[in-house]
Structure 1
């Protein structure tokens, strides 16, 4: 089955009907609404799951998230209209919200503060491995077995991941293979564990939380825009000298996401190197994030060039810079707050990122159908620099919240 068949099914058109430009534009607007539903549930999930993970632990919290998103992926294979797709994607968003709070809390549990940006870069790159495999495998599945098969396979893989996670993960203190010296190194920050219950209202009272939230609100929607709309950009952009379809987009997307992985690892490593040279966390992280923000600026040329090669190169550079930005943003929560509230802070920041994603998702389809991709890429090119300026104004110095400031009251 092709993308055209999928669109006809979702628009309730006959298989032999002509897919007109009007129908295609209507699909893009409806798809924006589906994307917004995903991000709305993602936002709610981030806030709730962050608190839940801090309450019941990383292992059980992430396991619950895997179960929900695996069920949602499998259910998507059985939808027959845009309403069903909207609900299935919303359930997926609720489950996937557990991913990053769990990952960031895991890094906080297993790494001292000075190594967390590199570790975050590695796990952030790992998230792209799934996208790379998807770019290679999904076109084959769709062309040979229909679009529904790709969602069924995703659901099955989720349950396999659940088994792997459950039987391999444990906290450092509970891992029998960890020596006393290794545990001491992990805990070398001498970070005092605070009471588990800290209110969202209390966390929102700190400028550190708002700095993290701004970084997520401004940058996360851009990454979701890439993931959601790049296939259509390459397939429908009349300015490009070549167009990509299901049979041909695998390699270009492989290039984009491999470069993104490299950016995540490199910029995470770069911050660590700056700190090893004696730079403060404030100077190291903000300098790296400035470099990332500048690397995104040229992307608005991607919507204007006629060269597919140039467009791929510009997008790859921007996605690599985004992943580097994200790798450093993820450390904000673990740098600025004690381990026992990292998931809650990450959840708050992730919620703001998802809210930004909802707003952009609702606008994207309408902007693209009316004005093309140029405005969207201009938004992408500016967002990171604006975010960094606001972050610096809100938090001129990255000073951790002191343990004694946190309350044990929970709302």
Structure 2
């Protein structure tokens, strides 16, 4: 079926239960896709202490495996963003989750550090399609005033995935061995893929979308719709603002995903059976931040703030709330450290929700996925640098302190650069 072909639509009536709410069904699909994305990504971090012991990895071995995931993620983001803008979100998302689900399952068949690097590279290529496809879907299905909240709901899936992983993986490992964790989590993606192909269409091709909801979705002023050359996007200040912000701040999230289990093991002597609750608390708080950050800017805009002021106030609040993470490695009480790290994780996710929405505020819809891909690739490159740096620091001094100090201030630096590049938010097409 042609994704853009208009179909007859149901007028909203009292008997039409989905009238006015279809876009939130789409948001739920994006939430679950992101949950699965992070479930597959997080398994390795949870298993790090187990695999390090069983497979005799050094800190540098693990850092190298993470590095190659990040490298593939960066490459994939550059490619997938452009592909999705060309073939559409329905087919693009399907390709992405199919690739990453197969790669997740293949982890069960390798044992060496090199083998893990290869399958992690493939996983990174596939997982790269999630956010370009998801944020473009939000731009297609939501008016500007709701996009940060929708992005927050989608982004909340990353935290739910990170919560489920430390609860599910130990159960699977203790019952069936570590390979089962990769097989089970990888297989879940194919369930979502079937649902996506059955349900998803763009708004004007969706049979059950009411006229009133379509009018709401299309209520913003018209934007440029002509295809934009990929190279032309680098002439946009909005592209560079997103690139710089992602490059500087995404590595902090990768630090939480891939090293927190190790941090708790080294600092508080927790193991596979005991670091689950602290991780659950941190990522539940991150969920609150993801939705709360989107809610904050959406509420400010509804109360009369400009889109520019609403987005930047929410970004500033998020940046300030990360600052206490500088003290995370210096506290002796486990739960105080959890509270500090949870606040930082929540702030990061609130930051991300508004940063993604900022792209939809400043870039033509026809190029949203491409810009998301370019910026997210920059974030992955930052993550590669982080992986190498963390491995070197831990091998040399064995402390997370310098890493957390750097993390505490980098969001304010990123926000300053965003503001200098984009003093006002508006959609600008390249010349």
TM-score (norm 1): 0.91
1-structure distance, mates of 2:159, 2:115: 27
Match of 1:59 in 2: 90
Match of 2:218 in 1: 187
Match of 1:267 among 293, 312, 319: 293
Match of 2:384 in 1: 358
C-alpha deviation, 1:9, in angstroms: 4.1
- Kept in 1, the 8 Å contact 2:50–2:272? The answer is no
Match of 2:108 in 1: 77
1-structure distance, mates of 2:385, 2:222: 38
C-alpha deviation, 1:178, in angstroms: 0.6
> In terms of mean alpha carbon deviation, does 174-183 or 309-318 score higher?
174-183
Question: Cα–Cα, structure 1 residues 33 and 187, in superposed 2: closer, same or farther, change >3 Å?
Answer: same
User: Deviating runs (4+, > 3 A) in structure 1?
Assistant: 1-5
Question: Cα–Cα, structure 1 residues 317 and 103, in superposed 2: closer, same or farther, change >3 Å?
Answer: same
Match of 1:409 in 2: none
User: For 1:60-116, what per-residue CA distance to the aligned partner results, in whole angstroms no more than 9, with x for missing partners?
Assistant: 001000111011101111111000000100100000000001110111111001110
1-structure distance, mates of 2:229, 2:251: 27
Match of 1:178, SS? Answer: coil
Count of residues in Structure 1 that have an aligned counterpart in Structure 2 = 385
> In terms of mean alpha carbon deviation, does 314-323 or 272-281 score higher?
272-281
Match of 2:170 among 139, 147, 152: 139
- Kept in 1, the 8 Å contact 2:49–2:262? The answer is no
- Kept in 2, the 8 Å contact 1:9–1:80? The answer is no
1-structure distance, mates of 2:182, 2:168: 12
C-alpha deviation, 1:334, in angstroms: 0.9
Match of 2:415 in 1: 388
- Kept in 2, the 8 Å contact 1:2–1:143? The answer is no
Match of 1:378 among 395, 405, 409: 405
C-alpha deviation, 1:200, in angstroms: 2.3
Structure 1: gaps of 5 or more residues:
12-25, 407-411
2-structure distance, mates of 1:141, 1:125: 24
2-structure distance, mates of 1:358, 1:191: 39
Q: Does 1:244 align with 2:270?
A: yes
Match of 2:349 in 1: 323
Q: Does 1:228 align with 2:258?
A: yes
C-alpha deviation, 1:134, in angstroms: 1.1
- Kept in 2, the 8 Å contact 1:300–1:374? The answer is yes
1-structure distance, mates of 2:198, 2:74: 29
2-structure distance, mates of 1:35, 1:98: 18
2-structure distance, mates of 1:346, 1:324: 17
Match of 1:92 among 93, 117, 123: 123
Question: Cα–Cα, structure 1 residues 100 and 3, in superposed 2: closer, same or farther, change >3 Å?
Answer: closer
- Kept in 1, the 8 Å contact 2:248–2:414? The answer is yes
- Kept in 1, the 8 Å contact 2:103–2:122? The answer is yes
2-structure distance, mates of 1:246, 1:401: 49
2-structure distance, mates of 1:298, 1:7: 30
C-alpha deviation, 1:173, in angstroms: 0.6
Q: Does 1:7 align with 2:38?
A: no
Question: Cα–Cα, structure 1 residues 109 and 378, in superposed 2: closer, same or farther, change >3 Å?
Answer: same
Structure 2: gaps of 5 or more residues:
1-45
